[in-house]
Amino acid sequence: MGKKGGSKEDGNIQTFLRIRPSKKASGYFKIAELESKSLTFALPDNYNSGDGRGDYINNTKLRHDFHFNDIIPDDSKQDEVFKKVGMAAVQNALDGFNSTIFAYGQTGSGKTFTITGGPERYADRGIIPRSISMIFNEFRKRTNVQCKAFISYLEIYNDQGYDLLDPSHETKALEDLPKVSILEDEHGNFHLKNLSMNPAESEEDALNLLFMGDTNRAIAETPMNMASSRSHCIFTVAMEVRENGSDKIRRSKLHLVDLAGSERIGKTDSQGSVRTEAKYINSSLFFLEMVIVALYEKSTKGRTHIPYRNSMMTSVLRDSLGGNCKTIMIATINPEMEHTDESLSTCRFAQRVSLIKNRAMINEDLDPSMVIRRLKQEILTLREEIAFLKGDAGEGDILTPGEIEKLKIQCKDYVEDPDPRGLLNIGSMTLTKIK
Ligand code: ADP
Ligand code: MG
């Protein structure tokens, strides 16, 4: 089925910065007073990378300005974050656009708190449970459409995918979960093999799936040191929306992504002190950065090849990055002094991401089963009309008592049929008899 997107919308990836609360914030940066959209780092003259990476003070630029679509200050509550960032993303998905929110930042900066939420208080629910709630509320409001939601939850660790929604056996380690792999078809589209798509009829169903996935995520991570900071988790709600009686079906996906920690390790030269280059601990984040750079060069220098295939994460998120998707990045930073270098590199990365343009379109397909149903009905009607026109309309125009009874039952069944696509099939009755 070809995509029949009615409207296409170009737009840059939106970037938001969230600063997590801390009692020992460095005070090195401030949010511009008049407009809450830029963050200025003013490092002290004696600023020295606080993590013992060595002395490179002479090369250090002391003032840095970064611009975002919005900045979420450290005292923001989760419901405000959802209003600022989550609601628009969910609305886009409900309107038929693919939509992605991904959180990027060093370990401990608040990615999981933002995407999933804190475990203790109901008010700390993150973007995933709030999105689920909004989706099913909207579904309930729309009486003229049929809506379906399917949920998947993928964890990628060491470039291997795992299905977090596997209820079939007890999980004790990541290796117990079904392995998910990625396949590329002849059109260059990626497909996930072995990732379950679980129907959710209600908010409760969807929250149970989230809970199951998070439990598997927690169990699987315990025996493996650092796994939670080194893996990516992608929670996806796939939606199908169809207006009653229409052949057309809109399919969209909402991806909510908690990336691996973006911290880097410093490389030291042979003397062991001077940092020459910092490297990501997680190699797929390095590939993500390559993809972002390539996408930028695509728009500025006409570069054609984008190296999505280098990692599973960039392959899975291909549409979210530079494709058919409306995408939002939430950069999370820890305001403490010793994390200044990481905060700076997170902000720098967000600046590069904000230059990427996507082209989202409404994903509308014809549903073959609906088309066949409608055509069959049309053929039936036409056959009856032909029979009538040819004059072989039967013995006469009078219905027998038996036929009347049968018709009554058929009409009653039709009226009581809860399926809006139900048909009134009156079989061999001729049009004259019906009249
Ligand atoms: P990450 O997923 O980036 O490694 P987490 O989301 O796990 O970081 O956050 C680390 C810790 O800080 C957690 O205990 C979390 O509950 C807490 N935390 C993070 N952001 C906030 C916030 N905005 N408000 C309150 N607590 C937060
Ligand atoms: Mg986390």
Tell me the backbone φ, ψ of residue 62, rounded to 5 degrees: -95, -15
Instruction: Please state, in angstroms and as integers, the Cα–Cα distance from residue 4 to each residue in 248, 251, 320, 361, 371, following that order.
Output: 10, 11, 19, 9, 15
CA of 111 to the centre of ligand 2 (A): 5
At residue 124, the pLDDT reads 97
DSSP-assigned states of every residue in 198-264: EEE-SHHHHHHHHHHHHHHHHHHHTTSTTHHHH-EEEEEEEEEEEETT-SEEEEEEEEEEEPPP--E
339 ligand 1 Cβ < 6 A: no
Distance (angstroms) between ligand 1 centre and the Cα of 128 equals: 15
Q: How far apart are CA 67 and CA 380, in angstroms?
A: 63
Helix (H, G, I), strand (E, B) or coil at 49: coil
What is the pLDDT at residue 394? Answer: 53
The pTM assigned to this predicted structure is 0.82
Alpha helices in 6-155 (DSSP H): 78-81, 87-94, 111-115, 127-141
The residue contributing the CA closest to ligand 1 atom 15 is 113
Q: How many CB atoms lie within 10 A of CB 157?
A: 23
pLDDT at 261: 93
Phi-psi region of 421 (alpha: psi -120 to 50; beta: other; left: phi over 0): alpha
Q: Which ligand is nearest to the CA of 330?
A: 1
Ligand 1 contact, 268 CB (< 6 A): no
The alpha-helical segments, DSSP class H, found in 303-400 are 312-316, 340-353, 368-389
Q: In the sheet that 29-31 helps form, which strands lie side by side, from edge to edge?
A: 29-31, 38-42, 63-67
User: Is 126 a pocket residue for ligand 1 (Cβ < 6 Å)?
Assistant: no
Q: Which amino acid is at 134?
A: M
* CB contact at 8 A, 263 and 342: yes
Going by C-alpha positions, the residue among 250, 246, 372, 245 that lies closest to residue 6 is: 250
DSSP, collapsed to helix, strand or coil, labels residue 31 as strand
- pLDDT (tens, 9 = 90+) of the chain, 435 residues, equals 444 445 777 788 999 999 999 999 888 888 886 665 889 888 887 776 544 444 445 556 788 899 999 999 999 999 999 999 999 999 999 999 999 999 999 999 999 999 999 989 999 999 999 999 999 999 999 889 999 999 999 999 989 999 999 877 677 788 888 999 999 888 878 899 999 999 999 999 999 999 999 998 888 776 555 566 889 999 999 999 998 888 889 999 999 999 999 998 765 555 555 455 567 778 899 999 999 999 989 888 888 899 999 999 999 999 888 888 999 999 999 999 999 999 999 999 999 999 998 888 888 888 778 788 888 888 988 988 888 887 765 555 677 788 788 888 888 888 888 777 777 776 666 666 666
d(CA 85, CA 69): 10
Half-sphere exposure of 137 toward its Cβ, with a 13 Å CA cutoff? 9
Q: How far is CA 35 from CA 31, 83, 106, 270, 273, in A?
A: 8, 19, 26, 46, 40
Does ligand 1 have an atom closer than 6 angstroms to the CB of 110?
A: yes
CA of 117 to the centre of ligand 1 (A): 8
Specify the pLDDT at position 220. 73
CA atoms in the 13 A half-sphere facing the CB of 182: 21
Q: Is the CB of 21 under 6 A from ligand 1?
A: yes
Q: What's the pLDDT score for residue 55?
A: 45
pLDDT at residue 243 in the model = 86
- Whole-number Å distance, alpha carbon 339 to ligand 2 midpoint, is 16
Neighbours of 359 (CB within 10 A): 14
Q: Is the shortest distance between the CB of 6 and ligand 1 below 6 Å? A: no
Distance CA 117, CA 119 (A): 6
CB 107 less than 6 A from any atom of ligand 1: yes
**Residue 16 CA, distance from chain mean position:** 16
Strand partners, 318: none
Residue the block writes with tokens 């960039």 = 314
Contacts 24+ apart (CB under 8 A), 274-281: 274/54, 274/55, 274/56, 275/49, 275/53, 275/54, 275/56, 278/53, 278/341, 278/345, 281/229, 281/230
- HSE (CB half, 13 Å, CA atoms) of 77? 7
The amino acid present at 97, given as its one-letter code, is F
Collapsing DSSP states into helix, strand and coil, what is residue 9? Answer: strand
Regarding the beta carbon of 76 and ligand 1, being less than 6 Å apart is answered: no
Between the CA of 229 and the centroid of ligand 2 the distance, in Å, is 6
Most informative mutation of 18, 80, 113 for ligand 1 (most atoms within 8 A of CB)? 113
DSSP H or E run through 402: helix 401-416
- Measured in Å, residue 108 CA sits from the centre of ligand 1 at 6
Pairwise CA distance, residues 321 & 336, whole Å: 30
Looking at all shown ligands, the one closest to residue 227's CA atom is 2
Q: What angle, rounded to 10 degrees, do the helices at 203-221 and 127-141 form? A: 160
For ligand 1, the distance from its centroid to the CA atom of residue 127, given in whole angstroms, is: 14
Binding site membership of 217 for ligand 1 (Cβ less than 6 Å): no
